[in-house]
Structure 1
């Protein structure tokens, strides 16, 4: 399926595009809020500036996709593949990223307020200046991630080992739990 066909069918009211193959599709600045793209292949797609509020992208492949400035608030992104994806300034408030693969993703200045990142894979990700307040990062892997200037206010960061991360000085080398603190 190409991007134009998806947009035409979506414009006619269709919402279920689970399993769609949209490799390298140009969906820049489109409004796809509430769409079901479960298990879809959007690898290399341009979704920068797209509105994807409340959509279902669980188990979708967005490897190397551009989601810079995209609004994914309240989206189901569980078990999504976002390896190497660009998520600069993305809005991910209250998004479900449980077991998401965000290795080497660029999340600079992303807003992940109240996001569920339980068991997420964030190794090598750039989280510089990301907002993770009230987020749940329990049992996620942030090994070799850049967490400089990250807002972790009231976040649950249970069982985090930051020995291999880039982080500000003064943070303990072993986070047992910061849930409810700071």
Structure 2
């Protein structure tokens, strides 16, 4: 699927669409509320998720390579087998998150709650 804009994503969320497997690379989603949303296998490479609410979201198998997640709320999120290589998770809340098999090579976890 082709890349979509943040406005198209918001419309999809309002319509209750499943986001599994979408290409959301380099999208600006800062401060968006994606609590409990299914983002399984979504490509979020380089995405701006500054202060985003991803609590209880399903990010299993997602590609978050180089994503900006500073201050993001990932409490109880499923990040199993996700790629967080070079992601910026400074001051992110990862309490209760499932990190089984998650790749974090070069990720910035400074000040993150684990």
Within 1, Cα distance between the matches of 2:3 and 2:106? 32
Q: Show structure 1 runs of 4+ deviating over 4 A.
A: none
Within 1, Cα distance between the matches of 2:76 and 2:49? 16
The offset of 1:165, in angstroms, is: 1.1
Name the count of aligned residue pairs: 112
Match of residue 86 from structure 1? 33
Match of residue 16 from structure 2? 50
Confirm whether residue 148 of structure 1 aligns to residue 95 of structure 2: yes
Within 1, Cα distance between the matches of 2:6 and 2:24? 13
Question: Which deviations, in whole Å up to 9, do the C-alpha atoms of 1:112-134 show, x marking residues without a partner?
Answer: 11000000000010000000000
Unaligned runs of 5+ in 1: 1-33, 52-70, 168-182
The 1:49–1:150 alpha-carbon spacing in structure 2 relative to 1, beyond 3 Å, is: farther
Radius of gyration: which is bigger?
1
RMSD over aligned CA atoms reads 1.9
TM-score, normalised on structure 2?
A: 0.89
Unaligned runs of 5+ in 2: none
- Matched position secondary structure for 1:160: coil
Q: RCO greater where, 1 or 2, for CA within 8 Å and sep 6 or more?
A: 2
TM-score, normalised on structure 1?
A: 0.57
